[in-house]
Structures are given as structure tokens and as C-alpha cells.
Amino acid sequence: MKTIERRGLIFSPPGIGWCSSHAQNPFGQDLGGGRVRVHFTCRDTHNRSHGACLDMTWQGLVSPEATISLEPTMTLGLGALGTFDDSGAMPSSIVEKNGTYYLYYTGWSLASTVPFSFHIGLAQSVDGLSYTRVSEAPVLGRGFYDPYITGAPWVCIEGGIFRMWYISGTAWERATDGSVRHYYTIKYAESYDGITWKTSDHRCIYYGPGEYALARPVVYFQDGKYQMLFSFRGGNGTYRIGSASSGDGISWQRTESIFLDVAAEGWDSQMVCYGWSFQYAGQNFLLYIGNNYGKDGFGVVRL
């Protein structure tokens, strides 16, 4: 059994208008020179999501007491009224090609027959801070193999091919009390230009007993295999972080044990999810969020 050292919160939202609460989907972008840009998502006073980032040192990223009061910068605001992301934009991953940064994100909108809808958007930047949408439409929305929702894209470029792991809805279910529950799992897509994507009916991860949400895939290559972290929830209604491995990034073997469970008390005692792993000074770390989808901010553990 691996030893987990919980180092606490790295960042808490400052309570300003556009960053009033939460800090979801944290992931890092290496800036060189010992510095890292951490991207994440804040919520405003109307509970709408905005992309944000913090610049800090890698050392600071594993030393919460030095960084918790940093001021964030907005990277991506709301989409135009009536578009797929007019109620929220949640950055999920960044890749760079020919000097242009591709920021893939989940765009939210409100719905009537179900509570919400979300799909995958793309914004680009040449300076890494100011991002412009390539379109007011999603780059991966509803389609033949994704009839419900798409989101949480994790993208990398290999051999000139853009590879994406993302969540795809499989159903909405209405309960006897009138409430509805979403079902979504993790799938895979490819693209030659990062804009037009080829999808299929192949599922990377299947639901476990009682599960209905498999979320936020993060994929990296380690120990000769592709490794995936993802979040899952079932009967208890709150997320835990799981893992899987693959030889080709398409067919995956899920690990039976939980990668990260909740703490005994505190800000991550009810839920842990949306993890991003990294290495520093020869040690393994994980950024993640806790209770109420990261309302208190994001933190770090040493694995």
C-alpha cells in the first residue's frame, strides 16, 4: 500500500466577483526555469465557471503555506449568449503546436428537460495567457457516437496526431421523484488538426457496480505504459479517484483499488476528484480537489 502525505490546500479562491468560489480541474503547464503555470476553474457569484491560472515555482506547488493567497488571472470567460458555453467554461488541458497553445475546455449551458448540457470547446493563444475561441460552436459536441454530452477533454500530440480522452454521456435517467441523473463514461478520439475529431463507440473505461459517472481523465506515459487517472462515483454520490493502464491508449485495464480516497476530516473528507499527477525532485505528487467540487480550492498530496 502506497504512503499518502496530504500537504493541504495550495490555493483558495479569493472571493472576488469572477472568482468567488471553487478551484476545479487543476493542471500544470511547465514554464521552464523552475516555474509552473497552474490552470483551473473558478466560479463567479452566479455559479458560472471561468478559466483561471496562477504562476508559481514548482517548489511552491508542493509547499501550500507559500502560495495559498496568490491572486489568479482569468484566461477564459463566458461564451456569447445562446452558445454552448454561455453558462461556464472549464479549461481541461493544453497542448502546443508551432508556437500556438491549444486550450481544450468544457463549455456549459443550461437546459430545460435536463439540468444542463456541456460540450468540448477550443481556444487558442500565442502568449499562453490571452485565449480566443476558434469557434462559438464546440469542436466536439453531439454526434452519432456522442448523442448526449461531451466534456473534460485531455489531449496530447503524438506523431502529429492529436489524441483526446474525454467523457461522453450514455443516458439520462428520470427518478420517480422527478429528478434526473446523468450517466457518462470515458471515450477516445483522434484528429489531424485538433479541430475536427474522429470518434467511435469504443469505451475506454466501463462502469463498476452502482457507478454512473466516470469523469476527468488525465493520461500520461510512465513505466512503459499509458496511465490514466479518472474520477468515479456511484451509490454514495461523491467522487473518488481511480486509475487504469494501457499499452496503446485505447484499450484500458482498470485498477481495482482506489488511487486516492477521502481524508478522515477536513476539506477533502467527503469527496476527492479531478486529479493531475506530476513529479518534482524525484517524488510523485497529485493536485486534486475535495468537498463540494473544490469549493475550498485545490490541494496536493505526495504519493
Structural domain harbouring 74: 5-302
pLDDT at 63 over 90: no
Pick from 248, 224, 244: nearest CA to 161: 248
> In terms of pTM, does the model score above 0.85?
yes
Helix H or strand E encompassing 163: strand 161-174
Q: How many domains does the chain have?
A: 1
Residues in the chain: 303
Query: β-strand 21-32 against 100-110: which pairing, if any?
Result: unpaired
> What are 94-125's pLDDT values in tens digits?
999 999 999 999 999 999 899 899 999 999 99
Which three cell numbers, joined as nine digits, stand for 253? 485495464
CATH number reported for the structural domain that contains residue 290 in this entry: 2.115.10.20
**Which of 11-25, 89-103, 134-148 bottoms out in mean pLDDT, i.e. has the lowest?**
11-25
Among 3, 1, 15, 92, residue whose Cα is nearest residue 302: 3
